[in-house]
Every structure is written in C-alpha cells, then in structure tokens.
C-alpha cells in the first residue's frame, strides 16, 4: 500500500529521525512510503501543505505519528485523508 507519513514537523527538533524511523518500519512492512520530512527547505507553510496534500492524493493510506494532534498541518492532513476515504493508521508507542 502507498502510505503517507503525517506528524509534527514545525517546532519539532527531532522530526527527521522520527519520520525516518516510521518510513523504515513501513517499508519493512511492504509499503511504498511518501515522507514529507525529506522535502527541501525554503518553502512557505502553505506551499508545503499544497505539496503534502498532493502526496496524500496519490497514497491509499496515511500513517499518523503520535504527535499529530500537536500539529496544525497534521490535523488538516488527517481530516483530508478521512474525507477522501484514505486508510488511517496510528503509531503505537514510541518508534
């Protein structure tokens, strides 16, 4: 399944490590993964959201990291995924 990873990036110092661990785990489970944490720096928040929504569009599911509820963007991604009938999985425990 094609999976998008959603979680808190802005204001989260270790986001790259957290997203990378989730990506590795999902790949080991046989998924193709879209990881927004690898996008280049320098775009506005609104531009990142447009890119991320497009990434969700091509995926069948979204993997929500534990900190998603602390992120404005991840909340939007979760709602968008739900409206568009994407399978939503939630991180359990710490990666």
DSSP letters for 34-72: E-GGGSPS---HHHHHHHHHHHHHT-SEEEE-TTGGG-H
Q: Round to whole Å and give the CA distance between 10 and 54.
A: 19
Q: Say what the pTM is.
A: 0.93
Mean pLDDT score, 19-41: 97
Instruction: Check pLDDT > 50 for residue 13.
Output: yes
Q: What is the pLDDT of residues 37-95, one digit of tens each?
A: 999 999 999 999 999 999 999 999 999 999 999 999 999 999 999 999 999 999 986 54
The topology (CATH level 3) of 2-90 is Rossmann fold (3.40.50)
State residue 95's pLDDT score: 45
Mean pLDDT score, 27-32: 98
Domain spans of the chain, in order of start: 2-90
Mean pLDDT score, 6-17: 93
Q: Round to whole Å and give the CA distance between 30 and 3.
A: 10
Distance of CA 57 to the CA centre of its chain: 12
């Amino acid at each position: 399944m094609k999976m998008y990873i959603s979680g808190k990036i802005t204001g989260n110092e270790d986001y790259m490590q957290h997203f990378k661990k989730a990506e590795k785990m999902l790949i080991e489970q046989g998924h193709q993964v879209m990881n927004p944490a690898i996008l280049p720096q320098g775009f506005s928040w609104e531009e990142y959201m447009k890119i991320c929504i497009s990434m969700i569009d091509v995926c069948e599911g979204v993997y929500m990291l534990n900190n998603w509820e602390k992120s404005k963007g991840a909340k939007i991604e979760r709602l968008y995924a739900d409206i568009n009938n994407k399978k939503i999985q939630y991180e359990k425990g710490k990666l």
